[in-house]
């Protein structure tokens, strides 16, 4: 019952985080196009060419290394620099994420999203209090604990890195922690 309840909480949290992805540059009037969020594609008025090549290196109870391509997160932006520098009162920063059709790394599906709140995001820089949500490796789900940390660094060219440490497994065996790094390059 505890595992099922925790899984439900994680699913709701991930859904809320992904729903927040619907805030795009097009919705705040700061650019001339893009789509309504991280759902992929373009409405034909601009953007859609930004793609991320993402590398993950996780250690802990579910160690893995590999990479995937994310063409959804940047779909509402006209360039990598716009992705990195566009700020606004309703525009949080979202890291590149695995596609909704789960990315497989070493045969395991993975999911995560790093977020910097709109009140904190000011463009390129390091954000030591970024939030990591929806961390899943295979069937194992992870959440924060008292000593868990996460941070994001964004470069002006749209590339960046994020790291996390001591996220606690609350599904599966419930017996370990996960830490790791995510790096990305941007093209478009």
What pLDDT digit, counting tens, does each position of 169-179 carry? Answer: 987 666 789 99
Domain ranges of the chain: 2-187
| pLDDT value, residue 43 | 32
Residue 22 is predicted with a pLDDT of: 33
Average of pLDDT values for 24-35? 31
Determine the average pLDDT of the residues in 139-161: 94
Q: Taking 80 as the threshold, does the pLDDT of residue 31 lie above it? A: no
| pLDDT of 9 over the 80 cut | no
**38 with 71: CB under 8 angstroms?**
no
Three state DSSP letters for the chain? CHHHHHHHHHHHHHHHHHHHHHCCHHHHCCCCCCCCCCCCCCCCCCCCCCEEEEEEEEEECCCEEEEEEECCCCCCCCCHHHHHHCCCCCCCEECCCCCCCCEEECCEEEEEEEEECCCCCCCCEEECCCEEEEEEECCEEEECCCCCEEEEEECCCCCEEEEEEEEEECCCCCCCEEEEEEEEEEEC
Q: What is the mean pLDDT of residues 50-75?
A: 95
- Identify the three-state secondary structure at position 164: strand
Encode pLDDT of 87-118 as tens digits. Answer: 888 889 999 999 877 788 999 999 999 999 99
**pLDDT tops 90 at residue 37:** no
């Amino acid at each position: 019952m505890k595992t099922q309840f925790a899984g439900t909480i994680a699913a709701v949290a991930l859904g809320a985080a992904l729903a927040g992805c619907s805030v795009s540059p097009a919705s705040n009037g700061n650019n001339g196009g893009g789509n309504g969020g991280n759902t992929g594609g373009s409405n034909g008025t601009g953007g859609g060419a930004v793609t991320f090549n993402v590398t993950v290196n996780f250690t802990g109870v579910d160690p893995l290394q590999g990479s995937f391509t994310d063409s959804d997160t940047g779909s509402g932006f006209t360039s990598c620099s716009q992705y990195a520098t566009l700020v606004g009162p309703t525009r949080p920063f979202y890291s590149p994420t695995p596609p909704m059709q789960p990315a497989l790394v070493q045969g395991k599906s993975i999911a995560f999203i790093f977020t910097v709140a709109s009140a904190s995001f000011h463009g390129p820089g390091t954000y030591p209090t970024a939030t990591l949500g929806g961390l899943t490796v295979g069937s194992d789900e992870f959440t924060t604990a008292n000593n868990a940390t996460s941070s994001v660094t964004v470069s002006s060219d749209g590339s960046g890195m994020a790291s996390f440490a001591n996220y606690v497994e609350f599904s599966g065996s419930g017996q370990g922690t996960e830490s790791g790094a995510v790096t990305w390059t941007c093209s478009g």
